[in-house]
């Protein structure tokens, strides 16, 4: 699913489905989804490359606002990744 972000341009309808799919995954398979997203650093780079799309921006916000206490095992790594993403945006 994250391979969609490798494209040069993403259709708004597909981006909306992408956001909703991520939302469903986080609601049902929180730990697995978070581990998968944060284990691949290209995911956030690709998300930022498409941040002009509202649904993709909402997806970035979704991942940055995750409750880090739900997945305590790798807390420092995820916090560092979040800070790197925020730095690259600004």
In tens, the pLDDT along 43-54 reads 888 998 999 999
Q: What is the pLDDT of residues 11-61, one digit of tens each?
A: 999 999 999 999 999 999 988 888 888 888 788 889 989 999 999 999 988
CA 20 to mean position of chain CA atoms = 12
* pLDDT at 75 exceeding the cut of 60: no
For residue 9, give Cα distances in angstroms to 18, 45, 87, 89: 14, 15, 24, 19
CB 85 within 8 A of CB 60: yes
d(CA 77, CA 83): 10
> Domain locations in the chain?
10-89
Structure tokens at 48: 């930022």
pTM exceeds 0.75 for this model: no
């Amino acid at each position: 699913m994250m391979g969609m972000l490798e494209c040069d341009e993403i259709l708004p309808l597909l981006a909306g489905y992408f956001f909703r799919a991520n939302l469903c995954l986080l609601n049902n398979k929180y730990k697995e989804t978070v581990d998968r997203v944060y284990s691949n650093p290209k995911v956030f780079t690709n998300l930022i490359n498409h941040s002009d799309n509202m649904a993709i921006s909402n997806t970035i916000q979704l991942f940055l606002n995750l409750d880090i206490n739900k997945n305590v095992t790798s807390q420092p790594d995820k916090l560092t990744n979040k800070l790197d993403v925020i730095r690259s945006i600004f």
